[in-house]
């Protein structure tokens, strides 16, 4: 506990005494940041109070963070908001084309979802981002660390080393800048996100990867009767992740597999089968598809990005621009 910032100590909140603090600590809520990112029902369970009181406690934590200038107030002047948004950082995906589609890269303070069928490049984008985020500012990076929450066992340190090498970065340094958490089931995945705060603070993390968001939920909640519970659990989880992006000003990137259904030739192929909860929580959604040796990305439902395609490819540099585009730009 000694490493907790004094200004973030739970008992600096009015009405939080030693007993409440202890109960919150026991539930893994160690700081005001943790309290602000916890859902009311988790707080209610931890302290054994009703939901209304838990909401109040959560609001107090948010208010304190606003005072500490670590979070936006509820009412904010639109001009201030614009100024603030200009300070949002971006991490390059490794491809200029894909970055352009995203308005410069994946944004901090937001959640970006990449969805598409198997082999469309979701995990490769995640790996490349973990390297790029560590690059110097001005070269697509934020000089920050990455957390990779791996739910499918697809994280490959060898691939990270290869991408770093191909991009002229120090392999060892890049590898040590990535914290990997293997999530074995949905409850474990939820626990990892709950405990994320400390890692983000200590390791100066600028990027959190969740690859993939819903696989465990899909596997564990089978059958019609379980759908409501699944969506509820997933909803709670995704919102906690979004709050984390906002409170810590990190880029959160989640992946979501969709099956290429035969009927999608007639319907809208950019509509994911299931995972609507993820769709509603994500700030930006990018649909990926395979096209021979290339990959095509499309921004879906963005309020201000133009609807168009970006072509990229996968090579030793991870995500990259097709050779002909790279040649044209040089
Ligand atoms: P699922 O997780 O199965 O849904 O797929 P995904 O969308 O995560 O696919 P992934 O990112 O794993 O992409 C797989 C594709 O990336 C492969 O078909 C290869 O084309 C390419 N790829 C994977 N590893 C490498 C590599 O080491 N070198 C190169 N050049 N390409 C790779
Ligand atoms: Mg994958």
Total domain count, the chain: 2
Q: Is 253 within a domain?
A: yes
Residues 6+ apart with CB under 8 A from 18: 11
| Average pLDDT across the chain, whole number | 89
pTM assigned to the model: 0.86
Q: Is 79 within a domain?
A: no
- Domain shared by 133 and 9, yes or no: no
- Domain shared by 61 and 179, yes or no: no
Q: Is 81 within a domain?
A: no
Q: What is the pLDDT of residue 227?
A: 83
Q: For residues 154 and 168, give the distance between their C-alpha atoms in angstroms, rounded to a whole number.
A: 24
pLDDT digits (tens, 9 = 90+) for 224-259: 788 888 888 998 899 999 989 988 999 999 999 887
The CA distances from residue 181 to 42, 87, 211, in Å, are 22, 29, 11
Q: Is the CB of 295 under 6 A from ligand 1?
A: no
- Domain shared by 25 and 131, yes or no: no
Q: For residues 52 and 50, give the distance between their C-alpha atoms in angstroms, rounded to a whole number.
A: 6
Name the 3-class secondary structure at 99.
helix
Residue where a domain stops, chosen among 32, 67, 102: 67
Query: What mean pLDDT do residues 136-141 have?
Result: 96
Of 126, 122, 161, nearest in space to 257 by CA: 122
- Domain shared by 284 and 145, yes or no: yes
Q: Is the CB of 259 under 6 A from ligand 1?
A: no
- Domain shared by 61 and 93, yes or no: no
Range of the domain at 261: 88-329
Q: For residues 10 and 176, give the distance between their C-alpha atoms in angstroms, rounded to a whole number.
A: 31
- Domain shared by 175 and 286, yes or no: yes
Q: Is 146 within a domain?
A: yes
Site to probe by mutation for ligand 1, drawn from 93, 94, 116, 121 as the one with most ligand atoms within 8 Å of Cβ, is 121
Q: What is the pLDDT of residue 3?
A: 57
Of 238, 275, 278, nearest in space to 113 by CA: 278
Burial class (CB in 10 A: 0-12, 13-18, 19+), 17: exposed
- Domain shared by 37 and 179, yes or no: no
Q: Is 119 within a domain?
A: yes
Supply the CATH number for residue 201's domain.
3.40.50.300
pLDDT higher than 80, residue 2 = no
- Domain shared by 33 and 133, yes or no: no
- Domain shared by 152 and 232, yes or no: yes
Cis omega (within 30 of 0) for bond into 212: yes
pLDDT digits (tens, 9 = 90+) for 179-204: 999 999 999 999 999 889 989 989 99
pLDDT digits (tens, 9 = 90+) for 296-329: 999 987 767 777 899 999 999 999 999 877 665 5
Q: Is 20 within a domain?
A: yes
Supply the CATH number for residue 57's domain.
1.10.150.20
Q: Is the CB of 315 under 6 A from ligand 1?
A: yes
Q: Is 16 within a domain?
A: yes
């Amino acid at each position: 506990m000694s490493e907790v910032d004094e200004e973030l100590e739970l008992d600096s909140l009015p009405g939080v005494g030693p007993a409440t603090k202890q109960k919150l600590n026991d539930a893994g809520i160690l700081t005001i940041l943790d309290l602000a990112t916890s859902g009311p029902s988790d707080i209610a369970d931890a302290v054994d109070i009703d939901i209304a009181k838990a909401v109040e406690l959560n609001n107090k934590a948010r208010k304190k963070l606003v005072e500490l200038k670590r979070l936006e107030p509820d009412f904010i002047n639109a001009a201030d908001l614009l100024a603030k948004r200009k300070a949002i950082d971006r991490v390059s995906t490794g491809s200029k084309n894909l970055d352009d589609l995203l308005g410069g890269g994946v944004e901090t303070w937001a959640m970006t979802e990449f969805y598409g069928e198997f082999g469309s490049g979701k995990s490769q984008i995640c790996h490349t981002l973990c390297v790029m985020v560590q690059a110097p500012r001005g070269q697509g990076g934020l000089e920050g660390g990455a957390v990779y929450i791996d739910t499918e066992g697809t994280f490959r340190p060898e691939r990270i080393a290869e991408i770093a090498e191909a991009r002229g970065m120090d392999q060892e340094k890049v590898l040590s800048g990535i914290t990997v958490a293997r999530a074995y089931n949905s409850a474990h995945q939820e626990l990892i996100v709950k405990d994320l705060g400390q890692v983000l603070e200590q390791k100066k993390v600028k990027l959190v990867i969740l690859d993939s968001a819903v696989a465990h939920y899909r596997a564990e909640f089978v059958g019609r009767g379980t759908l409501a519970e699944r969506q509820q659990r997933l909803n709670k989880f995704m919102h906690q992740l979004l709050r984390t992006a906002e409170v810590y000003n990190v880029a959160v990137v989640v992946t979501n597999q969709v099956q290429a259904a035969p009927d999608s030739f007639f319907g809208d192929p950019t509509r994911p089968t299931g995972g609507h909860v993820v769709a509603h929580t994500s700030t930006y959604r990018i649909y990926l598809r395979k096209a021979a040796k290339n990959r095509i990305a499309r921004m879906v439902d963005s309020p201000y990005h133009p609807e168009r395609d970006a072509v990229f490819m996968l090579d030793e540099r991870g995500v990259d621009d097709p050779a002909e585009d790279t040649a044209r730009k040089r």
